[in-house]
A = this chain, B = another copy of it.
Amino acid sequence: MKVAVTITLKKDVLDPQGKVVLHTLQNMGMKTLSNIRQGKYFEIEIEETNQEIVKKDVDSMCKKLLANLIIEDYKIDII
C-alpha cells in the first residue's frame, strides 16, 4: 500500500524558506501571489493491505520521526 504524508509548519511558526521563495516569485513577476508556505512530502510504501494498520503505522512514524510536532502538523493520505 502506498501512503502520502504531508508535513507543514504550524500556523504561527516562521517559515524562512517559504518567505524567500515568495519574494523570489514575486520579483519574477507573479503579482497575484500572496503567500507560500513550504513543507515536506513523503511517499511511503508499506507491505500491508489492512488500511487501519497502515494508518496506525504511518501515524506512529510521523510522531516518532517524520514530523516535529512542536512546530509541524502532518496529514496522511492513502494513495
Residues of A within 8 A of B (CB): 4, 6-8, 18, 21, 24-25, 28, 30, 32-48, 57, 61, 64-66
Contact = CB atoms under 8 A, between A and B. Distances in A.
A35 B8 CA distance: 21
The count of identical subunits is 2
A44 B35 contact: yes
The binding surface of chain A is classed by DSSP as: strand
A8 B7 CA distance: 14
A65 B23 CA distance: 12
B25 A61 contact: yes
B32 A38 contact: no
A6 B41 contact: yes
Contact of A35 (B28, B32, B45, B61): B45
